């Protein structure tokens, strides 16, 4: 007769013996686990330390990204621990490698605060990447259940609304980034915007590290950009635009720049990934409430995504950003 999850993983008296207890014996490995539609699923690429069993490494990742510490504690009995433990339920060798494995891990949806990317990532990637059972770890993909996904606002508009505002249909939208990205004065920056848009571009954009430096303060850039946009629109008879980077040191300053961009007539603002998850969710909410398009520059992405055996696959970051409310 098949056993329930709680029967397979329940704390037993022999699990209170002193010392370090393998995670697989603490209930974080369950090969018979039946995945629920409400589970958050994560696919990790794990490289165990020499001598560490792949199943134990997968269980360790499941444990440290959910409820575990280095041993069983009696306070587990004060919770529905059988339910709240993450379950590593499958380990497959990565093709064409000798020491890498795909670990499939299921998380109870109640482990995460609704609508909080900061809380989701604090569990999934917060404390496991430096874990001693593994020499490398990469989050390859996630499946977010509808019940949790719907607690996030998601993108307010997207390409459809952008086409409506540009009045461009059936053809690719053509854009570019202002270069050189640093060193131009505000007036010359606006000149580049005008020349590019008048020459046939639909939009231009700031680059990731142009914020408010001594050679060009942000208000100056916004004003000259809008002047270039308006002149190009008048010259071509087409709707034009430029993504104004509002990334700043504090959220108070980000909101100030966003409000100013809206006041001078911009319909789109831009932020950098390095702002952080909470800041991104906050400005995405502002953009929705103020009917503004929101563009995200993936600045810092390669810090996570470049190494193929360690970090975070960019597809996961894209999912998180769409959940946060970024349009593109």
Helix (H) or strand (E) segment spanning residue 225: helix 218-236
| 297 in catalytic set | yes
Given the residues 297, 308, 310, 328, the one annotated as active site: 297
**133 within 8 A of 49, measured Cβ to Cβ:** yes
Q: How far apart are CA 178 and CA 286, in angstroms?
A: 26
* DSSP, res 298: -
Given the residues 12, 36, 150, 179, the one annotated as active site: 179
Residues pairing with 176 in the sheet: 204
Residues pairing with 243 in the sheet: 205
| 187 in catalytic set | no
How far are the Cα atoms of 84, 139, 200, 219, 252 from residue 22, in angstroms, in the given order?
18, 22, 63, 58, 47
Structure tokens at 13: 């008296």
Radius of gyration of the CA atoms of the chain, in A: 24
Contacts of 97 (CB under 8 A, 6+ apart): none
Residues annotated catalytic, as ranges:
179, 297
């Amino acid at each position: 007769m098949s056993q329930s999850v709680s029967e397979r993983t329940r704390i037993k008296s022999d699990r209170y013996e002193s010392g370090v207890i393998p995670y697989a014996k603490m209930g974080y490995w369950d090969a018979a686990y039946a995945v629920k539609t409400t589970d958050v699923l994560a696919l990790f690429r794990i490289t165990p330390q020499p001598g560490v069993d792949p199943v134990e490494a997968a269980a360790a990742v499941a444990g440290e990204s959910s409820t575990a510490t280095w041993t069983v504690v009696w306070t587990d009995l004060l919770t529905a621990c059988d339910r709240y433990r993450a379950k590593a339920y499958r380990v497959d060798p990565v093709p064409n490698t000798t020491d890498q494995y795909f670990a499939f891990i299921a998380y109870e949806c109640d482990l995460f605060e609704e609508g909080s990317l900061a809380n989701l990532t604090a569990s999934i990637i917060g404390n496991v990447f430096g874990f001693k059972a593994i020499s490398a770890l990469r989050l390859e993909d996630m499946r977010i259940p509808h019940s949790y996904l719907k607690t996030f606002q998601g993108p307010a508009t997207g390409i459809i609304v952008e086409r409506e505002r540009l009045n461009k249909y059936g053809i690719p939208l053509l854009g570019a980034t202002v270069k050189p990205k640093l060193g131009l004065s505000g007036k010359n920056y606006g000149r580049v915007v005008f020349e590019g848009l008048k020459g046939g571009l639909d939009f231009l954009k700031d680059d990731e590290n142009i914020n408010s430096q001594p050679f060009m303060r942000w208000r100056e850039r916004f004003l000259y950009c809008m002047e270039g946009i308006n002149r190009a629109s008048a010259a071509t008879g087409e709707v034009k635009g430029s993504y104004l980077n509002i990334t700043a040191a504090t959220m108070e300053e980000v909101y100030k720049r966003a409000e100013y961009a809206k006041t001078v007539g911009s319909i789109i603002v831009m932020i950098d990934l390095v702002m952080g998850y909470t800041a991104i969710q906050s400005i995405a909410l502002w953009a929705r409430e103020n009917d503004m398009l929101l563009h995200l520059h993936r600045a810092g992405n390669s810090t996570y995504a470049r190494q193929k055996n360690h970090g975070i696959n960019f597809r996961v970051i894209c999912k998180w950003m769409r959940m946060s409310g970024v349009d593109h």
